[in-house]
Amino acid sequence: MYLSKALGLLFATGPLLINAISSEPLSTSGRWIVDSAGNNVTYAGVNWPGAAEAMLPEGLQYQSIEYIVSKIKSLGMNVIRLTFAVEMIDDIYENGADVPIKTSLINALGEANGTSVYNEIISHNPQFNEDTTRLEVYDAVANECYKQGIYVHFDNHISKAMWCCSTTDGNSWFGDTYFNVANWHRAWTYMADHVKSLPAVKSIGMRNELRTPADNATLTSTSYNWVDWYANMVENAKQVNSVNPDLLIFFSGLNFDVDLSPIPTASDLGNGTAFHKTDFSFADKIVLELHNYDSSASSCSSLSSSLLSDGFEALETDDSSIVNVLPVVLTEFGYAQDSTTYTEVYASCLRTWIPSVHAGWMVWVLSGSYYIREGIQDYDETWGLLNHNWSDWRSSQTIENAIIPMVEASLG
Ligand SMILES: *[C@@H]1O[C@H](CO)[C@@H](O)[C@H](O)[C@H]1NC(C)=O
Ligand SMILES: *[C@@H]1O[C@H](CO)[C@@H](O)[C@H](O)[C@H]1NC(C)=O
Ligand SMILES: *[C@@H]1O[C@H](CO)[C@@H](O)[C@H](O)[C@H]1NC(C)=O
Ligand SMILES: *[C@@H]1O[C@H](CO)[C@@H](O)[C@H](O)[C@H]1NC(C)=O
Ligand SMILES: CC(=O)N[C@H]1CO[C@H](CO)[C@@H](O)[C@@H]1O
């Protein structure tokens, strides 16, 4: 711990060469993510949200991008999962250009608050101005991450920009009220091309937390199944790969991404379809991602056996029933940042078990606070690693006793 703290201090003072990440792409080898030299790369990092109404990475009204990235770096983390909404790309197609951040903030927060939040963003991030667009802010985050040696995983979190996720929010499943499949493909085609100019971006998550469209019984009964999952996800993955063959492509599962159970074993998905990674020319770019918020777990053995059957068994190279040996990353899990929750079964189990199986992870969540969440402006996030004004850790106890030890167990 002493060493990583000392390094954190060094990194906070500015980028160092020893700290660099390669501009070369990542790929997979069996159950490992590997760099271009063949070294294992395990992701250990944090979610940085940007998919809510303002469509901007959160927190910039309180701190500079450089400062926030240096806080992440001080934990020894090596990745952020940066979320965006399809709506941002829809706007680019519909207007012929991306929306300036000031306009987007006013749209999200109203004239008065949008303007004052914009002014605060500029005071902390003076490289931006009235002409700066939302995607340029994403680029600035990705470029600062590259400078400080942190990978960026781009995640399509939602279609219509807002807090995610419920089964009745219109974004749940292919064809739901706001989940226009053609627009989703278009957004990925755009982003896969766009990130070619961002060397920190090595991987993408095609869609966050697919789930039952509970307010549409017809869509649920006719489409919420593995056959439709396969058709839509595989089509999108092929498009991403054809535009940008360098990217790792993460496949998420059903039921809020807690279920990829038929994938490791290549089980019948229905009507004779099965997922075989060898069917894809880009088999060495495929990664599985799962979420877990099972905070009521009563023992680590029950939690870890559920995780294995949810899909983590794709890591098991010695099990002959595993047809698709693949890397699996826990792209979301999280808990309240206070003085006790990290000691409970759920948090303690994940911080030992996930590193023990050499799986990657991103904790939910970095914020702090949100520009707006569920209608409430400047919403305080009690699960945030950072405090309300993003100046320091919310719970230094959790950081010292849980977050840093988990990073060290994964990367140390
Ligand atoms: C990747 O990690 C595994 C397990 O520790 C090890 O067996 C393998 O040799 C590593 N590969 C490289 C290239 O270091
Ligand atoms: C605007 O910001 C102020 C101060 O943060 C807050 O009290 C108010 O509720 C916000 N307005 C809206 C419409 O949320
Ligand atoms: C349910 O989803 C289908 C497919 O997108 C759509 O055509 C239909 O209008 C939706 N029904 C309702 C009640 O929203
Ligand atoms: C940020 O929040 C912390 C903790 O609540 C507080 O001590 C500090 O004064 C705040 N900083 C600013 C600039 O408001
Ligand atoms: C899950 C799925 O796609 N099931 C289909 C299998 O084929 C039958 C007959 O064509 C369809 O009725 C099912 O909907």
Q: Is 8 exposed, middle or buried (0-12, 13-18, 19+ CB in 10 A)?
A: middle
For residue 7, pLDDT beyond 70: no
Say how far apart CA 318 and CA 325 lie, in whole Å. 10
Does 391 contact ligand 4 (Cβ within 6 A)?
Answer: yes
Give the rounded distance of the alpha carbon of 53 from its chain centre.
18
Please tell me the distance between residue 278's alpha carbon and the centre of ligand 2 in angstroms.
53
Sign of the dihedral through C-alpha 338, 339, 342, 346: negative
What integer pLDDT is reported at residue 269 of this predicted model?
98
For residue 209, pLDDT beyond 70: yes
Q: Which domain holds residue 324?
A: 2-411
Give residue ranges with CB within 6 A of ligand 5.
225, 227, 270-271
Say how far apart CA 151 and CA 102 lie, in whole Å. 28
Question: What is the pLDDT confidence band of residue 19, given thresholds at 50, 70 and 90?
Answer: low
Say how far apart CA 340 and CA 348 lie, in whole Å. 11
Does 36 contact ligand 1 (Cβ within 6 A)?
Answer: no
What integer pLDDT is reported at residue 20 of this predicted model?
85
Q: What percentage of the chain has pLDDT greater than the value 70? A: 95
* The two structure tokens encoding residue 267: 């089980």
Q: Show the 3-state SS of 175-232.
A: CCCCCCHHHHHHHHHHHHHHHHHCCCEEEEECCCCCCCCCCCHHHHHHHCCHHHHHHH
Does 43 contact ligand 1 (Cβ within 6 A)?
Answer: no
Question: What is the pLDDT confidence band of residue 6, given thresholds at 50, 70 and 90?
Answer: very low
User: What single letter denotes the amino acid at residue 399?
Assistant: I
How many domains, in total, are found in the chain? Answer: 1
For residue 4, pLDDT beyond 80: no
Say how far apart CA 409 and CA 400 lie, in whole Å. 13
Q: Which of 218, 221, 224 to mutate to test the pocket of ligand 3 (most atoms within 8 A of CB)?
A: 218
Q: Ligand nearest 221 Cα, by number?
A: 5
Using CA positions, which residue lies closest to atom 5 of ligand 1? 358
What integer pLDDT is reported at residue 2 of this predicted model?
41
Does 103 contact ligand 2 (Cβ within 6 A)?
Answer: no
Please state, rounded to an integer, the average pLDDT across all residues of the chain.
Answer: 95
In this prediction, residues 151-171 reach a mean pLDDT of 98
Say how far apart CA 185 and CA 330 lie, in whole Å. 24
Write the pLDDT tens digit of every residue in 225-242.
Answer: 999 999 999 999 999 999
End-to-end Cα spacing for the chain: 10
Write the pLDDT tens digit of every residue in 373-382.
Answer: 999 999 999 9
Give the rounded distance of the alpha carbon of 56 from its chain centre.
15
Helix (H, G, I), strand (E, B) or coil at 318: coil
For residue 12, pLDDT beyond 80: no
Q: What is the CATH classification number for the domain harbouring 58?
A: 3.20.20.80
What integer pLDDT is reported at residue 102 of this predicted model?
98
Q: Which of 331, 321, 330, 325 is nearest to 303 (CA)?
A: 330
Give this prediction's pTM.
0.94
Q: Ligand nearest 227 Cα, by number?
A: 5
- The torsion of the CA quartet 305, 212, 49, 253, rounded to 10 degrees, works out to 40
In this prediction, residues 34-59 reach a mean pLDDT of 98
What integer pLDDT is reported at residue 1 of this predicted model?
35
Write the pLDDT tens digit of every residue in 317-370.
Answer: 899 999 999 999 999 999 999 999 999 999 999 999 999 999 999 999 999 999
Q: Which of 177, 178, 219, 232 to mutate to test the pocket of ligand 3 (most atoms within 8 A of CB)?
A: 219
